[in-house]
Amino acid sequence: MSQHFLLSAAAKTLKLKDIYVAGEEKAYETFRAIRWPETGGEAVCPSCGGAEAYEIKSRRKFECRACGKQFSVTSGTIFASRKLSFMDLLGAICILANAAKGLSSLQLSRDLGVQYKTAFVLAHKVREAIAGETRSAKVDGTASIDGCYVGGHIRPANLKENRIDRRLSRFQTGKRRVVIALRDHDGRTLTHVSKSEADGVDFALARAVSDTVIHADEAAHWDALESRFPVKRINHSEAYSLDGVHTNFVESFFSRLRRMVGGQHHHVSPKYLHAYAAHAAWLEDHRRSSNGAVAGMMLRNALTSPVSRTWKGYWQRAA
């Protein structure tokens, strides 16, 4: 099989037009090469692992010589039962990779020329796939922890005498959540969504190696970390960074997350906030990579992730 653009060592960037100029057959070859890199794109049965299969070219499917089951390049992956062309799937990956601060499903639907429902589920499938990179990851060495509250906005009344104190719990919508970020200074950003920042203590206990040096602000709930970790504190009323102690790496992630939610999506449901937080963290962690490399990682994650229990048949269940 010929070399394709996502795996080219010389490629520094990826253009959307390159995908559509190359055509459907080239996109299909890209999927095959990334799904089965150990065999050079030759099909491997997802059921029995057999490396010999008949190719049914008219349907772009294969039949395993060993077990007799038919499968395609997306069988058993997060793109299973896909209806979009390989070219459009690759185009969607490129568009999402180019969006440094995320992309709304409405804009993705317009760019691809598909229904909003299609774009919404497709984007969330990609988010689920890339979040798998850090599902079991832990931080070590030096890390920072902090929280960022998202959502729950209450629009103030027009007349001053009708306005309420939105700080009081009885006036809250119940939709406000905090994204807790635990970021390795030399590694990945791990996220957790909760109703209280104090829940970040249990998150740190579960996701940080015991000798990790944790940088945190002066919030009282972080005191509980001092029994398990070497903790260094920074008082933000005095300085953002002092004697090498800071939470700037986490704040950098929060900056991207705020711009993603406020500038692109405008509203994020608490039910799916964890997916958007993981997406922003993944983009932050790979911010130094070229868009071609980011697209390649996105597609590789999608083709190594199992069928989604959340997003397969989502609209049928919601109807």
Percent of the chain with pLDDT over 90: 87
Quickly list H helices, 132-240: 200-207
Q: What is the pLDDT of residues 46-77, one digit of tens each?
A: 999 999 999 998 899 999 999 999 999 999 99
pLDDT of residue 6: 60
Per-residue pLDDT band for 276 (boundaries 50, 70, 90) equals very high
- Helix (H) or strand (E) segment spanning residue 242: strand 241-242
pLDDT at 304 over 50: yes
What's the CA gap between 212 and 232, in Å, rounded? 11
pLDDT of residue 3: 54
Q: Are 145 and 215 in contact (CB under 8 A)?
A: yes
DSSP state of 139: B
What's the CA gap between 137 and 133, in Å, rounded? 8
- Helix (H) or strand (E) segment spanning residue 316: helix 314-318
Percent of the chain with pLDDT over 70: 96
Q: What is the pLDDT of residues 7-53, one digit of tens each?
A: 544 346 789 999 999 999 999 999 999 999 999 999 999 999 999 99
pLDDT at 271 over 60: yes
Q: What is the pLDDT of residues 133-156, one digit of tens each?
A: 999 999 999 999 999 999 988 899
Neighbours of 68 (CB within 10 A): 12
pLDDT of residue 316: 81
Residues 185-205 have a mean pLDDT of 96
Cα 129 versus chain centre, distance: 7
pLDDT of residue 166: 87
pLDDT of residue 115: 96
